[in-house]
Every structure is written in C-alpha cells, then in structure tokens.
Structure 1
Amino acid sequence: MKIKPEVRWISLWLVLTAAACPGGRMGGDATRFSFRGAPGADAWVNTCIRRFFTNRVDEGATYALEYQAIADSWLHDAFMGGRLIQERKRTRLLDTPLSVEGYVSAQQHISSSQDDGWPFPVWPQVPGETGYEGTTFGWHFYDQPQEWEIVLRHHVNPAPGSPPFLGKGARAAWELTDLDDHGLDAGRHAWTLAPAGKLPTLTGPEEVKLDAFNCPYIQIRMKAAGLRDACMDWRRAGDEDWSASRRMYFRPETTPHSATTGMRHAELPLHRHPAWTGTIERIRFRFPEIAQDRPFFIRSIFTHWDTRHLVNNAIYIKAAWEHFRWTGDLDFLRVMLPRMRRALRFMMDEGHARELNHIRCTWPGHDGRPGFTVHDDGSKTPHPGHGKGGSYWDLLPFGWDDLYTTTHYYAALRAMAELEEAADAHPGWAIPDGFAAFDPAALRTHAAAVKETVNRKFWDREDGRFVGCIDRDGVAHDYGFTFVNLEAIHYGIATEPHAERIMTWIEGDRIVEGDTATGEDIYAYRLAPRATTRRNIDWYTFSWFSPEVNPFGGQIQDGGAVLGFSFYDIMSRIRTLGADNAWTRLMEIRAWDEEVQAYGGYRKYYAEGRGGTTLQGGGTAGGIGIDFEFTESSMLAAVVPLGFMGLQPDGDTLHIEPRLPEACPAMRVRNLRYRGVPLDITVAPGRAAVELPRHPPKPIRITLGETTRVLTQPGIARFSR
C-alpha cells in the first residue's frame, strides 16, 4: 500500500477538535481591566478575555494544561461545563492519568496508536514507494473504521497483493487453535471468538513481516472474562520454532479510551525485550486462562511507535503549581504533591537529567534525527521510525538532547522547589512528605546546573540564539525557533546576555545569515513572531514526508505563527527590553485584531486572503493558529496581570511588582480571583491598592517591595515604596 501525499496525520486532530463543543460562560462579575492613559486598550483586553474563553474548544489534552492554567487561574465568575473554571481545572489535574512509573499521559484523542501518547503517527503512515509492508502492520476486525481512525479510512484500497488489514480479510488472515469463530460483531466493532480447548491460540499470518525497530509496541484491544497470564510469542528470521525466551505476558486494562472502543487495551512494550530484534516473521497470542463458557471479543491488533511526550511531566507539574499558587487549595495540594514528585522523578530518570543536567530522550525513535534524507536531485530516502515528535510541535523531531523539553524541565524544578519550600514552612498544612519529598535547596542547585549546561551546550555563538536540539549523531538543528528562544527567556533558563542577544534577532535589529525571514518579516503576520525564521524542508518526523508542498509560512511549524505564544514574546520583552517595548508590541497586536474584527472575524479575514496565509483549525491546516484547538490564545490577556501589573503569587504570598509602560501609568483589575475571593487591585509606579470585598476563607498576605499587609476582613489596603 502506498500512502498518498495528501493524506495527512493532521486530519485526525482537526476533524475531532472541529467537532468539540465550546462551553465557556462569563458572568456579570467576571474579571475586567481598566487602564489610565490608553483609550480603548482596556476594552480590547476585556473583549479578548471573553472572546477566547466563551468560544474555546474544551481541550483536555495535557499539552494545554499549563496554557489554560496561565489564562484561567485568576479569572472570576467564569464557568465551563457548568462549573467554575478553577474547579474544572482542579478535576482535570487530579484525574490526569499517571502511570505506576510516573509518566503523565498525553490525554489526546484515541487513534490506532499509543493510548498514553500522541495519536499519530499510526502504523500505515510509513512513507516511500512500498508503503508499510515489512515494517509495521495492523488488523482491525470490523468493516468500517470510525472517524478517529481517519488515516485507516484513506487506506481501504491496498496495492494488489498486500495483506488485508480490515474486516473479513483481517479475520481470515489468522489461524485459530482451540477457538471457535463466531464472526464479526457489527455492534461491537469486534471479532467474536469462543474457547474450544485447553489452550486457545491465535496465530498471525506468515506473509506479514514486521521490523522490530518500527514496532516497539504491539497493542491488542479485547474484552474477555477470566483472562489471566495471556502472552504473545514471536519468531524472528532464522528462528525454527516458538520459544518461551521470546514471549511477553500481558493483561488488558481499562484505559481512558476504553469508553470509545468498548474494550480493554494492552500495550506490549516489546522494545524492552532483548529478543525483540530484526525481522519478526510471525506472532501468536495464547490465552491459557480464560472463561471457557463465554465468548470473548477482539477489536484490533496493531503495531505502534513510541509516541509518548516526556515534556508532559513538566507541563503537568507547572499547571498544578499555577493552580495552587492562585487558589491556595490545600486539599488539592495534599493529593497532587505526591503525584508531582513522582512525575518529576520520572522525568529526572527517564530524561537522564540527573547525570547530564539536561534532558536526553532515549525512547525508541526519539533520536532527533530527521525522518527522511533529501538528496541533491530532490529525491528522498525515508527513515521510518526516526525523528519522533516530542511535544506540541509534533511535526518537528525534538528528541535526544532536547532544549525545548529541558527548558520546561527547568521550570518544573523551580516550581517544585517553591512548593517543597512552602510545605516545609507550613507544617500545619499537613502535606505528605517522607522519603518521596525533595529538598528544595537541592532542586535549586540542580536547576542552576541545568541552566549552566544549557547556556553552554545549546547556545550557537555565531547565530546568537539557542538551537532546538542536538540529535543522536551530534548534529545541532536550528531553524530559527522563536518559540524555543522566547520560552527560554520567559522561564529564566537563558542568561541575561543571551536573552538580550536573542531579542536583537527577534526584534529584527540583527540579521542571522541563512534565515528566510529577517528584520520586519519576522512579524509578517503581525499577531506574533513567526515560529521559525529559516525554511525547513528536511527536518521533520518521518510521517510528514512532503513539507515542500507548503510555502514558507503556510504551515505553522515552518514560518507560521500562533497568537497565544505572543504571551511568551511580550513577557520576554518586559523582562529584557522593558515595559514600553512590550506595550508597543501588545498595541500592534491590538491594531491587527481590530482590523480583523472589522473585516468580519478570523475565519473570513484569512479565508479571503487578507492575512497573507491560511488559518488552521476546524478541519483545515494552515500557517496561523488562533481559534478552535488553539486554546492558548487565552494566554494573551494574561500579560496584563502577570506582566505589566506584576501580580505573582508564590503559594503563600501575592507579590505585586508593577512594570508599567509610560503610555499606561496606572492599571486596575476588578474581580481578580485569588484564594477563592475577588480582589480589586490598582497599581501605579511605586504604589498599589487592594480592595477586599468580603471576608476571605483564610488570611491573604500581599507584598509590594518591602511593604507587607495581611488581609483578614473587608477593606482597602494601600501600599507604597
């Protein structure tokens, strides 16, 4: 079977997110801002908050947890799904699946891929003339793939002679021993079998060959009563018989995706077995202990790559920290802190961060290498299984020595240090500690070592910016990743000299030789800097095989832009270039947005070619991300309280450190939610006022410089320095 160039993995995500329902609602006491000296700017910020919240797709994936925590934790009178947004996020964080080892699930939609990983690539997505034969395979025991299996739906016409993978053909390919075949159950989308002997066995077809490297996992989705000690055996090229030395036991479990399939799922981590090597010529499943008097059901058996994202753990920790520092929810912290410790320890160990002081992801295929080689004549040699995506930026093979994940790891270390220190300082909180607790001083020492390593190892002196990753061959990859560099500044891993040099490039004052976008063109789309400034047609995961079909800027991850990530841009400008520079950039975004709204909105503006590229979301691919699955757009307004007003809780105290532009010498926020109550806060140079409208559940401690107030009853507290 040959994969058609127009078949994109992205369809899986876009179709499903387009079908999701927005559910945001803001009441009459919602958070709102007012500014002095900047006519209309406050109304625009308030409109942005409401627009992006009330029209938001209810995205529950892990990658969005921190984005939404940054945007929502301080909102008052805001609801989604009939619940306060803080309560909804609290439940999401507590319910996020965490493996026994400590890996945080991606919580993405279901597909024929890893349940706890990213939903693509799936097994048919092997590029090249021959397709997947001899590399990967799957058998799906139903006639009509579901909508979330859209990639399979595009592959219903295999090349002549290809083994069948769907419906009756898939069923006929397997040999049955001590089993009765009761046919395909259309209602369950599954194959019905019944035990008919002592050792029910299902043996795969001889004509299907599997490449062990490209099949690090095999998953079986089934439902059976009394199933125990089930196992899978395999034979490699040269093996003359079956052997217990080539066997892996499994037990299907209920996963968050079981509600969709109606089955239990077992993912066999075959890459961990030393005998899973070379060419796999045949596999079989044995069910020695299964209810003999009842039928059982198998929906599918398929190979899949390791699609986990190690950065999930850092995102989860930071989102939980963001939630706690605004809510002060001790019941939440008592449950979450042990989970966060486990998640951080997993990241330390799996990411080799203890020994290297940076993240090195050594999972199968996460090697940072490109998924194909482009030759001088334009032809390509695919490298299936290599260059696996490792984050939100899923087309790009961030892996091996990965700066993006390292930056978020660094931020997670600092967040955990804050939490552990707060827990130590407040024994009355009764937070579980014991052997699992971290020493906050040790976390800070480790974070400092990570920062030193990053600024030495990943810094490109000639280009004056950070590279994205260094692959397993020692090759550094740099396409002008503005998101890597701006997040490095925002989270504080970049040194001050490096941060300043980065901003001269992003501002357009300094030209980097070889870049496609330079100077003013870095902000060609106005809403945000381009995600990358150098054309990339050769460094992608293997399933994104034809990037050249899109022009530079026609795909978000190659010169496109995402509105929400202007949050990192503006916060980095406040930190490095000052509030006046950052305010100017925010007002440029305002001018763009008001033009777009006057024209008829985002969809109309970009559909009719006004924006210079296409808009992604709601079932389309493109170069700009604003709505639908781009819930991070809600972060834009957070630059006002977190950046310009300088409102920064630390888990114990709300610190106020205003950084106001001359164009807006005073800002006020009404109904900013902190510790469960709405606060009205006004800031101006050297002074602030905080109004508490009602008795708080617990005392509220606030500082401005050296001045501290503890609020226990309604009233106004004034600060000056």
Structure 2
Amino acid sequence: MKLFSKILPVALCGALLLAAVGCGGGEKYQPYDYEVKHASGDNVLRFYSSDNGLDAFLNDYFERHMRYNERRIHAFPVGAGQPVWKEWESMIGSFWDASPANLTEHYATNRWVRDWLTFDYMSLQDRQGYISTSTGITSSDWGQGWAFPSYRHNNMGGFGEEFTDGIDGWQGESGTNVSHFTQKAEGSESADGTEGYLAAETAASASEICVVSPLIRGGKGTNAFYSPFLHFSWKYELTQGEPSDLDDLYVYFQTKDDANWSDDKCVRFSEYATVAKDFSQTENVWQGTFLNMYLNEKWGRDSLHENMVTRLKFVLRAKEGKKVQGKLLYNFIRSDFDDRMSDNCGQYISAAKHYLSYTQDTELLKTVLPNARRALQFYLTCLNGEQNGIIDNSYLVGHFNCGTPATGIGISDGFWDAISFPNANLYSNLSYHQALEGMLFLEQMAEEYDVESPAVTVLGKDMKTVVPYQETISSLREKLERCENVMREKFWDDEKGRFFAGYYDTQDGTGVTTEKMDYGFLMFNLQAVTDGIATPAQAERILSWVSGEREIAGDTSKGDDIYKFLFAPRFSTKNNASDSVWAVGQADSWECGVRNGGAVMQTSYYDVVARSLVGGADDAFSRLKGIESFYTAVRRSGGEGTGFYRKYFENLGIGMQGNYDADGDGVADGDSEGPVGIDCEFLEAALMFVSVPDAFFGLEPNYDGTLAVQPRMPASLDYWRMENLLFGGVSYDLSIGKYFVQLSNVQQSSSLSMEVRLAKPSFKFKVFYNGAQAQYKEENGSIVVKVPFENGKVEIKGV
C-alpha cells in the first residue's frame, strides 16, 4: 500500500472537498439505502458494486490473472517469480486470502511470498546483506542476479567449464588426481539429462587438494573486467581428517603479464566469498560460491585497460600441521559478470512490509526483521545511501551507462533488464525509497509488538570491514525525507515537467556527465506520484503529460497516442535507440518490445492510483472503465485460456512479448518480442485489480493492528464492495459509499480496529456507528472514526 498521506494533506483534501461541494454552491445530502448481502460462493476475492459491467470485468480479470483454474492465461503461478516480482506479488495477494486453502498449493500466492521471505524458496542473503536471486548451486540457477549476462554472452571471450564433455587440460598437483564422471542431475543443461563433474582426489594423506585449470582460451585469457566474479558449484568429502582440520579454499590466478603463482594473486574463500559457511557445516554439501575476484588489486575492475587472466588454481588446504584425505567435486567453474540487481534488497523489504502489514504476523516479523535490516545496510553501505541520501550502483561492476553500448557495461538493476541505466538512477532509487519506507514500517511494527531481534552486521565494500545496523525509527524518517528531497532535485527536469532516469556516466564509469538520460519513462513518473516522491506541483505536471493534455517536444509519442494500446499508457514516450544491455539484444526500433514504447498492464495500477490522488476518484474511475472497455473487446474476440489476449492482438497485427506455449503442451515454444506485455511471464499484470482497494477504498493497514479505510468514491457508483478480504487473520467483507463504510461477514473476534476516514461534507451532519451517534475528530478535511474490527457501519447523515 502506498503512503497517500504525503500528498493528501497538502493538496488533495481541498480537491476532495471541492468535488463534494460541487459547482452548485453547496453539497446536498442524498441518503442511499444500502443493505449488505454476502454474495460470493467461494473464499477468493470478489468485487460487487452498483455497476454490473464493472463487477463482471473485475471478477473475470481476477480469475484469469490469478491463474488458479483452467481459465488461466498462463501456468506459471503468481508468487513464484524471481525477486524483482516480489513487491508486486505481495501487493497482489496480501489483502485477501491467497492461500492454499483457496488457490491450491501450487497457485497460493501468499505461500510463495512467505517462503521467499524466510529464504525457504529460491533466494539467500550474503554477508554484505545483498539478497541473491538464487543459491547458484545447480547449473541452471540464475545465481546472484538475472540469467544474463553470463559468460556465454561475453563476446570478448568469457571463461566457463561445465565439465559435461570431460576435463581436458585440468591437472592435479601436490599428489592430487583428477578424473571425470557424469550422473543424472535435475535441471541439467545436457541433452541426455546428465551433468559432468570434475573429481580431484588425494591418494594418501596430504596437506592440500590442488586442481589447476588449462590455459584459458588457449593462453589468450579472459579480461578481468568482464569476469569480476568466479562462480563455481562444489563440495568436499573427507575420508581422513575432520572439517576442523581444513584451513581454507584458496584460488590463485595468473595473468598475461605474470605467469607465476603468488600470494598477491590469490583470493581466499573465507574472505571474499559472498557466502562463506564454516567447513563444519558444509561437508558433503553442494555449495554455490561467488568469489569477489575484483577486490584483489591484481585482478581489478579497470574498464578501459585489459588485464588478462590466463590460468586458475584451486587449493583446499589443511591447517598447518594437519593432513587430510578425500576429494573435491566441481559441477562447474565459470567467470561471471557482476549481475547483482540492486532492486532485490528493496523488493525484499517492500514485500515484507506489504505482507506483514496485512497479516500482522509477529512471529514472521521476528524472522524477517534481521534480514530486512541487513538488506537496508547493503543500500546504506555498499551503494552509498548513507553518504549520498540516494543510492548509486557504482560498487557493482559494469552497471554504469556512458551512452555507448559495449560489452561488460550497462548491466541492469532489476525488472527492466534490457535498459542500461546510469550508476545513480531514478529506477533504482524508487526501490531504495520503498526500502526506507518499508523498513520504517517494520521497525514501528516491531516496537508496537515488542518484537526483539539480535543486533546484525554486514561486511562493507572491502569484504573485511564489519558494519553494524544502527537505524532507529527517527533516523529512518530522516533518511526517507532526505531521499525524497534528493530525488526531487536530482532527477526532476523542470523544463519538461517530468522525472528523467539520471545523468550519463563517464566512459570509465567513475564520473558523471551533465547529459540527461530521458526517454519519457512514464511508469517511473507515475510511481513517483503514487509513492509520494513527487511534490503536489510535480504530480500535477506529470499527470497533465500522461493524460495527453500537455505535450513534450522531442517525444515520439504525444497526446492520445500515449494510450495507443488502450489497456495502459506506454512504458516510455521517446524512442530508445542506444541505451540497452548488449547481452539482451533489444532491438532499437520503436514498439519492438515493451521497453521501448510498448505497454505493460502493471503501469495501469500506478496510473489509476496516481489519478485518484491528483485528479480525484472520477478521473481514476474513468481510466478503470477504459480498461474495462478494452477487456470487453478482448472477450468478444473469442480467445480463451492462454490464448485469451493472443487472439485479440493477432487480429490487430500487434505482437505480444512473452515466453508463450502456443501448442498447449506445457512447454514454452520460445520467447517472442512485441510491444504488449500482459500474459506469460508478466505475472504482475494482476496488479491492475489492486488499484481498486488502493485508489478507491483507500485501504491501508497500519503497524498497530488498525486498518485504515479512506474511500474515494466515484460519482457514478452508489456502493462498492469487496468480499473475502483478510486482515490480521480475520476474514471480512468491506463496503463503501459516498457517506459510509461498512464491515460485514466478520466471523472472528479480535483486538484489531478500523479507522474510517470520510470526506467532510459541506452540509450539516451527524456521524453514526451502527445507528447510534458516534464520536469523531476532524483531520485534514476528513471525519475520522475509530471502531472495533467487527460487523458495523460508520455513516454520515445530514441533519
């Protein structure tokens, strides 16, 4: 849920009151007799209102996009996405019961999100606080970030040994024998379902197990800048000695300028592995290891000059005076780009905030809180949030954008994977802002419920300095305010009246130019409004541009063309012909993909919510009805299941992006490119229906067990109801009207409460709760009533 309060008290309450008063010089009380009746026959989210067409649209859309039955638009479940989806997935499922009881185990969105928050699914957290996409243990794991760029995308000469066909050139030293074997493995990249392994074994007790690589690329080597990490999957087995006898795993390297093994060209597992578990915990356990090779100055990270690494040596060494016998097994050894996504940490904190705000689960909070604190510290320490007020990605190797696409640079930071952003950019800082906002909520919740958590630390940029987390509620408020102020100043173009992505970096990535990167990133601008980053004046200018009222010189799309695809405004409004990641190969033509003039449905969430904040409920509702009209046309085209949208857009000759299973055999036929993203891997398209509770019901759970409801009711509706909602473990239905809020179908008792905020009318009135006159207070143009979380109705009546 977004923080409406940042804009509402300043500018919007007046707009709401003006809307209530109307043009006739005074608002007239018009009583409406509403009798609530629970109508749904199941326990999933359902929408009901005085507009039957609206209900049919929302309920049908929900069913198809939650993907839990045979009408699903794709088989991949909402909730099982990679970390960059997790904030959206938590928003989609947290406010209703998206559990296995209602959606089956496989499609239970909240179960997936909860398992991810506890690291029981997919991800892990490293010693710097960064949250990886996966463990990196299997050959098909995505590892620290995205599935690309990998060494296979390195057209300057990457290095990788999968050991599928043998171990040619690999040698053992110090009495180590090397051999090759294959075995069945899940997720194998080989055609016959097996994976290859290198086995290094000592024939007798020895002080080390030593494996040496062949000359990389025949002696040409691999450029260290394109290989800042080594990634390998390995385990050890001891037949003599104990894990406590082991000293460390050492990785030596040679360069084109120095073909000797030396201590200054060595990286130790215990020091530089992002995750380095004690040997006592890992005997005979596969580990996915990422070594920060670039932190060794002999390896380095120079983007302008070649530093060619030509050979590697892996040594598992016993402590002085100790000997061991056993073997080392390697599934693969690869060089790796720094594909860490700064988004991941923000996604974790934001998802935790959304999920915990609705569940009020203090036991889960105990588990999540230390993880979230470490994730925020990664932002503050490694990405310079403490120093600069906003984050930059200069610590991440090759993430800068100097305006010239080239191998090894412009690596993406999140969901928008094909676009190269500068080190300091708007997109990454939207996530940082969410992280600060989310962390503030989690700390307040922990204080409210007396949840204690042990002190946490992370490792700093050098992987040696220990940095403690020391934030307080007060310091987080200060950081949040500073972040917003810096973002408003740094990324705002007053001439164009919109936010831009950032300033291009210099050719080596160490400095910043004065040239702006601006492709009319409409979605980011709308998010800046919904998240409370844009000032009221900035928000109005952004919405005047998005609506087509105001045109910006130089844009490829202007006016009505911004909504060419009907269901959402374009992601961007200016052709991006150059700022793309080389490994993805995004075409430089307009409307070829969703990232360059295309449209994705999640933008409509931000569009509808932003309109409700700036233009009022009727403006937002008009946009929602526009999406309904599009959806009605799609239904009339006759598509069903996975072809629901496909038939409609095929008839129009418009391509759709996605990994699509055309023949329905359960296997994707390949990734297709097109300007429309609404099905397949676009899990977050379900976010559209979340605009209803956020934009119109003003639903906002607080950290103290209170659910705030602040209706923004469209003039054309008499009532609006959502059924089968969930707050603090209590199921309920919620109805709103212009002058009332009603809880119904509450079947559990609790200590929870509801805070109702209704716009203060201009006529004389009294406030009632369950028919009896109620006490209230006035705040920022609203009538505020707090009541128990039980069946009841808060209503304003004219007198």
Cα displacement string for residues 190-244 of structure 1 (whole angstroms, at most 9, x for unaligned residues): 1333224644432223324111111101122223214742211112232252211
1:272-287 aligned within 5 A = 272-277=295-300, 278-287=307-316
- Report if aligned partners of 1:254, 1:263 keep a CA contact under 8 Å in 2: no
CA contact (8 A) 1:185 1:192 kept: no
Measured after TM superposition, the shift of residue 539 of structure 1 is 0.5
Q: Which whole-Å CA distance do the structure 2 matches of 1:238 and 1:85 have between them?
A: 54
Worse-matched range after superposition: 676-685 or 357-366: 357-366
Report Cα offsets for 1:664-706 as digits up to 9, x if no partner. 2421122211111221221112321112532334333333354
Q: 1:205 aligns with which of 205, 214, 220?
A: 214
The answer (yes or no) to whether the contact 2:139–2:331 under 8 Å persists in 1 is no
Alignment of 1:269-668 (within 5 A): 269-277=292-300, 278-289=307-318, 294-369=326-401, 372-373=404-405, 383-424=406-447, 426=448, 428-432=449-453, 436=469, 438-473=471-506, 474=513, 475-545=515-585, 547-548=587-588, 551-601=589-639, 602-605=644-647, 608-610=650-652, 612-618=654-660, 619-622=670-673, 623-652=675-704, 653-668=706-721
State the distance in 2 between where 1:595 and 1:482 align: 25
User: Are 2:214 and 1:195 aligned?
Assistant: no
Amino acid of the residue matched to residue 81 of structure 2? G
Match of 2:465 in 1: none
Pairing partner for 1:242 from 236, 261, 275: 261
Quick one: distance in 2 between partners of 1:715 and 1:578?
A: 29
Q: CA deviation at 1:338?
A: 2.4
Report the Cα distance in structure 1 between the residues aligned to 2:291 and 2:469, rounded to whole angstroms. 29
Distance of 1:522 and 1:111 partners within structure 2: 42
* Alpha-carbon offset, residue 411 of structure 1: 2.4
Match of 1:72 in 2: 93
Q: How does 1:75-86 map to 2 (within 5 A)?
A: 75-76=96-97, 78-81=102-105, 85-86=109-110
The 1:545/1:72 distance shift into structure 2, 3 A limit, reads closer
Counterpart Cα distance in 1 of 2:47 and 2:142: 44
Matched AA of 1:715: N
Contact 2:492–2:498 (Cα < 8 Å) also in 1: yes
- Go from structure 1 to structure 2 and tell me whether the alpha carbon gap of 1:646 and 1:587 turns closer, same or farther (over 3 Å shift): same
1:3 corresponds to:
none
Tell me which amino acid in the other structure corresponds to 2:56: A
CA contact (8 A) 1:32 1:670 kept: yes
* TM-superposed deviation, 1:437: 6.0
The alignment's TM-score, normalised by the length of structure 2, stands at 0.76
CA contact 1:526–1:589 (8 Å) conserved in 2: yes
Residue type of the partner of 2:629? A
Structure 2 counterpart of 1:21: none
**One-letter amino acid matched to 1:610:** L
- If you compute each CA radius of gyration, which structure gives the higher value, 1 or 2? 2
Give deviations 1:20-58, integer Å, cap 9, x for gaps.
Answer: xxxxxx97122211112x231012111111211123623
> Shift of residue 316 of structure 1?
1.0
- After TM superposition, the structure 1 stretch with the greater mean CA deviation from structure 2, 432-441 or 673-682, is 432-441
Maintained 8 Å contact 1:479/1:536: yes
Residues 512 and 715 (structure 1), Cα distance of their counterparts in 2 relative to 1, 3 Å cut: closer
Structure 2 residue 161 is the aligned partner of structure 1 residue 139? yes
Identity in percent: 25
**What RMSD over aligned residues (CA atoms) do the two structures have, in Å?**
2.8
Cα 1:288–1:29 change in 2 (3 A) is closer
**Secondary structure at the residue paired with 2:725?**
strand
1:176 to 172, 179, 182: 172
Equivalent pairs counted in the alignment come to 645
User: Where does residue 252 of structure 2 map in the other structure?
Assistant: 233
Write the deviation string for residues 297-343 of structure 1: whole angstroms up to 9, x where unpaired: 22211101111111211111111111111111111112222221221
In the alignment, structure 1 segments of 5+ residues that lack a partner are 1-25, 143-166, 374-382
Q: CA deviation at 1:372?
A: 4.3
- What residue number does 1:121 align with? 149
1:431-470 CA distance string (max 9 Å, x none)? 4376856322322222111111111111122222111132
- Aligned-partner SS, 1:172: coil
Q: Which runs of 5+ in 2 are unaligned?
A: 1-39, 185-194, 301-306, 456-467, 507-512, 661-669, 759-776, 778-783
Instruction: Please say if 1:264 is aligned against 2:287.
Output: yes
Distance 1:300 1:515 in 2: 47
Say if 1:525 and 1:611, in contact at 8 Å, map to a contact too. Answer: no
SS in structure 2 at match of 1:420: helix
The alignment's TM-score, normalised by the length of structure 1, stands at 0.84
* Greater shift in the superposed pair: 537-546 or 516-525: 537-546
Residue pair 2:94, 2:358 contacting (<8 A) in 1 also = yes
SS in 2 for 1:224: strand
Q: Does the CA contact (< 8 Å) of 1:306 and 1:363 recur in 2?
A: no
Q: Which amino acid aligns with 1:195?
A: T
Q: Distance in 2 between matches of 1:418 and 1:230?
A: 41
The answer for the alignment partner of 1:41 in structure 2 is 54
- Residues 338, 436 of structure 1: 8 Å contact kept: no
The reply to whether residue 103 of structure 1 matches residue 130 of structure 2 is yes
| 395-404 vs 358-367, greater mean Cα deviation | 358-367
Quick one: which amino acid aligns to residue 62 of structure 2? I
Q: Secondary structure at the match of 2:335?
A: strand
Q: Secondary structure at the match of 1:471?
A: strand
What one-letter code is carried by the residue in structure 2 that aligns with 1:662? A
Give 3-state SS (helix, strand or coil) of 2:407's partner. Answer: coil
User: Could you say which residue in structure 2 is the equivalent of 1:61?
Assistant: 82
Contact in 2 for aligned 1:225/1:291 (Cα 8 Å): no
CA contact (8 A) 1:366 1:390 kept: no
- Following superposition, which runs of at least 4 residues in structure 1 exceed 6 angstroms of deviation? 251-255
